[in-house]
Amino acid sequence: MASVLGMLEEREAAARVRVEGLREEAARLAEVLEAAEIELDRRVIAREELVEALAVSAAESTSVTTAEVEEEAAPSLATVPGSTVPAWREGLQMTVLAPDYQQVPGVLEQQRSTGHGPLRAR
- Report how far residue 85's alpha carbon sits from residue 102's, in angstroms, rounded to the nearest whole number: 11
Burial of 101 per CB tally in 10 Å (0-12, 13-18, 19+)? middle
Q: Which of 13-17, 94-98, 118-122 has the lowest mean pLDDT?
A: 118-122
The model's confidence at residue 69, banded by pLDDT at 50, 70 and 90, is low
pLDDT digits (tens, 9 = 90+) for 33-66: 999 999 999 999 999 999 999 988 888 877 654 4
Q: State residue 81's pLDDT score.
A: 62
The answer to whether residues 98 and 82 touch, using CB atoms and an 8 Å cutoff, is no
Q: What is the pTM of this model?
A: 0.42
The average pLDDT across 76-80 equals 58
Q: Could you state, in order of their start, the residue ranges of all structural domains in the chain?
A: 2-67, 78-113
The average pLDDT across 88-97 equals 78
Q: State residue 66's pLDDT score.
A: 46
Q: State residue 56's pLDDT score.
A: 87
